[in-house]
Amino acid sequence: MATTRRAGPQARLENKMSFLDKVKSEFDKAKEGVSDFAETARIRHEINLLNDRKAALLKQIGQQVYTRFGEGHATPEVEALCQEIAGLDKDIKQKGEDIARVNTEHS
């Protein structure tokens, strides 16, 4: 006859502890993953802030170069681009006048 061994209180306690240890281990892994995700998100946010500042500085440089072009002091490397911007400015001004005309005609 085979005898079945019943788990005594000590064995049940060990099984519960083993289960709780596994749960705690998985929880710690998940917590670490969330922490890594938060750190990555924080660093990406910092990169975006740096890129935004860089774009603002590049915009300022461009505005200064274009202002110098308007004053007759164009840098040869960017003169063609400045001339294109001047053409766009003229087109934008014309479109604004077109809007004003349309609004005046329909009033």
Domains contained in the chain, number: 1
Look over the chain and give the mean of its residue pLDDT values, rounded to a whole number. 85
Report the number of secondary-structure helices (H) and strands (E) in the chain: 2, 0
Q: What is the pLDDT of residues 47-99, one digit of tens each?
A: 999 999 999 999 999 999 999 999 999 889 999 999 999 999 999 999 999 99
Domain that holds residue 62: 16-105
pTM above 0.85, yes or no: no
Query: Does some domain include residue 1?
Result: no
pLDDT at 22: 81
Measured distance CA(41)–CA(32) in Å, rounded: 14
Query: Does some domain include residue 3?
Result: no
Query: Does some domain include residue 36?
Result: yes
Measured distance CA(73)–CA(64) in Å, rounded: 11
Query: Does some domain include residue 6?
Result: no
Query: Does some domain include residue 48?
Result: yes
Query: Does some domain include residue 5?
Result: no
Asked whether residue 4 carries a pLDDT value surpassing 80, the answer given is no
